[in-house]
Amino acid sequence: MPFVKRNAEGTIVAASQREEGDCAEEISETELLASGFLDRLAGVEGREGRHLAGTDLELVRVIEDVVDLLVEKGVILFTELPESAQKKVLARQQLRSRIGGSLNLLGDD
């Protein structure tokens, strides 16, 4: 989980992978992405940039479903994914099952 520093208005102005210096507030990666801090850092601003960033979470869910489908069809083995990817996929699967199951964005066709 990243740690951040905010200005007087509450806008994130710095981030770190560990608690250090003024970066003392721990937030989730999702919160950091939603804050727009990384977009501002990368120079992605304006309506198109915000639209692109807004599609990231939707695309993540599609990619999760694609990975599930590839594993289900035997195209890839889950264990072939890097260990860090396996952990992230498993963590998201557990979270999704707790909030109502997978979204199945690809359908059953």
Nearest one of 33, 41, 34, 42 to 13, comparing CA atoms: 41
Residue 80's domain comprises 56-98
Residues 44 and 67 in one domain: no
pTM: 0.46
Tell me the CA distances in angstroms from 46 to 6, 55, 64, one per residue in order.
22, 15, 28
Residues 71 and 90 in one domain: yes
Question: What's the sign of the alpha-carbon dihedral 78, 80, 86, 92?
Answer: negative
Q: Which stretch, 12-16, 23-27, 71-75, has highest mean pLDDT?
A: 71-75
Structural domain includes residue 103: no
Residues 45 and 61 in one domain: no
Residues 7 and 45 in one domain: yes
CA 92 to chain centre: 10
Q: How confident is the model at residue 87 (pLDDT cuts 50, 70, 90)?
A: very high
Residues 12 and 50 in one domain: yes
